[in-house]
Amino acid sequence: MAAPLVEIRGLSKKYYGHPVLAGVSFDIAEGEVFGCIGPNGAGKTTTLKILAGLITEYQGQVQIAGADIARDRVRSHHLIGFLPQGVGFQAWRTVDSALDSLAELSGVAAEVRARRIPEMLERFDLLAARHKKVKELSGGMTQKLGLIQALLHEPRLLVLDEPLEGLDPPSRALLKDVIRERQRAGTTVLFSSHILSDVEDVADRVGILNAGAIATSGSLRELLVAFGRPLEIELAWAAAPADPAFVHELGAASERKPGVWRVRLPDGADPDAAVHAAIERTLAGGGRLRRIGLVEPELDELFASYLSRAAPVPAPIEDRGRHVA
């Protein structure tokens, strides 16, 4: 695992004596996409605002690339691109002027701005609106403008608070593409969302924030284990092997459709070893596989199960291996 770009330790924050964050701790590796989910009032926005340097009174330690954001604010601001919830621009500005001014404040050279701003506007389908006043834009267009300003200086860490809010489906798909592109370019992304399917689409790891603390974090598979949900693999045969009953040796198997089996693995079983064994046994038995893989749970399902649990919160996961499908 790469060295963490973001290290948050024991983050606590009170508003008028009421605790909003109570000892939030987590790391985000360089190049990782971390999705933060949680019910309303869980402290997602407060955490992101502290990271972005908007809230400066808190307990705990927050470091970005080794720089403590409380002590080295200027350096950490160079590293961050931030999209706040309900982004706002000076109403008198045009789209072009707003982006140019903000990029200049971030230290982007004039020739780079002249090239990059039209590129980004075109990417987000806003080029035709570049000379419009910001106040004339719709909510979705303003949100896209907010995303562009966060990306213009190519930050190492992109912090997005509800970035998909107010976007239509094509724009949401575009944003997810952009996040994946930025990840390939080495950018670390931390975002919050309540649209769980979108989090699931782009996040390498998911953190569930509840009652002011990270209840648990990890890949989907790790969350599955943490919540005591069974691991399952599904295999579909194009041609069944001579002895299809071997699937029962892997775990509790049930045939969902002819030739399509789902196997619930026993506790502690290695899912990769089970997939490997199923492939070997199928081929050895003269069968042909159409598909095989681990059944990933829907994040909505996991989240709902988490919220409805009366049992104590699972311990945070220390091993942060990436999930495989």
Partner 1 sequence: MSPSPTRLLVRDELIGFGARPAMSATSFMSLLESSIASTVAAVMIVVDIISERNRNVYTLLVIRPVRRETIIWAKVVAVFGCVTVACIVSILLGMVVDAVRGHAPSAASLYDTGQAIAQMTAVIAMATAAGALFGVLVRSILVAVILVLYIGQNVAVLPLVPSLFGLLPATFWWFILLSFALVAVMLWFAGRAFRRAQL
Q: Which long-range contacts (CB under 8 A, 24 or more apart) does 284-287 make?
A: 284/241, 285/241, 285/242, 285/243, 285/244, 285/246, 286/239, 286/241, 286/242, 287/237, 287/238, 287/239, 287/240, 287/241, 287/242, 287/244
Pairing label, strands 157-161, 80-83: parallel
88 binds partner 1 (CB under 8 A): yes
To partner 1, the closest distance from the beta carbon of 55 in angstroms equals: 5
Neighbours of 43 (CB within 10 A): 25
Helix, coil or strand: residue 169: helix
Least separation in angstroms between residue 129's CB and partner 1 is 18
124 close to 147: Cβ distance less than 8 angstroms: yes
Phi-psi region of 125 (alpha: psi -120 to 50; beta: other; left: phi over 0): left
Report DSSP state, residue 323.
P
Instruction: Convert 55-87 to b/e letters by CB count within 10 Å (16 or more is b).
Output: beebebebbbbebebbebeeebbbbbbbbbbeb
From the CB of 110, what's the least distance to partner 1, in Å?
16
Residue number with CB closer to partner 1 (16 or 170): 16
49 or 144: CB nearest partner 1: 49
The counts of H helices and E strands in the chain are 11, 14
| d(C-alpha 90, C-alpha 212), whole Å | 33
When asked if residue 139 is in the footprint of partner 1 (CB under 8 A), the reply is no
Region near partner 1 per CB under 8 A, out of 33-41, 99-107, 263-271, 287-295? 99-107
- 66 touching partner 1, by CB under 8 A: no
Nearer to partner 1, 146 or 297 (CB): 146
CB 269 within 8 A of CB 231: yes
What lies within 8 Å, CB to CB, of 36 at 6+ separation is: 44, 47, 48, 190, 191, 192, 193, 206, 207, 209
Residues 67-86 that bind partner 1 (CB under 8 A): 74-75, 77-78, 80, 82, 84, 86
CA atoms within 13 A on the CB side of 160: 33
Identify the residue among 52, 120, 141, 263 touching partner 1 (CB under 8 A).
52
Distance of closest approach, residue 134 Cβ to partner 1, in angstroms: 10
Of the pair 27, 161, the CB lying nearest partner 1 is at: 161
Does 49 bind partner 1 (CB under 8 A)? Our answer is: yes
Question: Which residues within the stretch 147-176 sit at the binding site for partner 1 (CB under 8 A)?
Answer: 149
State which of residues 1, 2, 105, 114 lies at the interface with partner 1 (CB under 8 A).
Answer: 105
Closer CB to partner 1, 84 or 293, in the complex: 84
Q: How far is CA 219 from CA 168, 194, 322, in A?
A: 27, 17, 6
Nearer to partner 1, 94 or 305 (CB): 94
Nearest to partner 1 of 93, 264 (CB atom): 93
Say how many residues touch partner 1, by CB under 8 A. 26
CB of 92 to partner 1, least distance (A): 10
Q: Which listed range, 17-25, 37-45, 54-62, 167-175, lies at the site for partner 1 (CB under 8 A)?
A: 54-62
CB of 42 to partner 1, least distance (A): 19
Instruction: Check binding of 34 to partner 1 (CB under 8 A).
Output: no
Q: What does the binding site for partner 1 look like in residue numbers (CB under 8 A)?
A: 49, 52-57, 74-75, 77-78, 80, 82, 84, 86-91, 102, 105-107, 146, 149
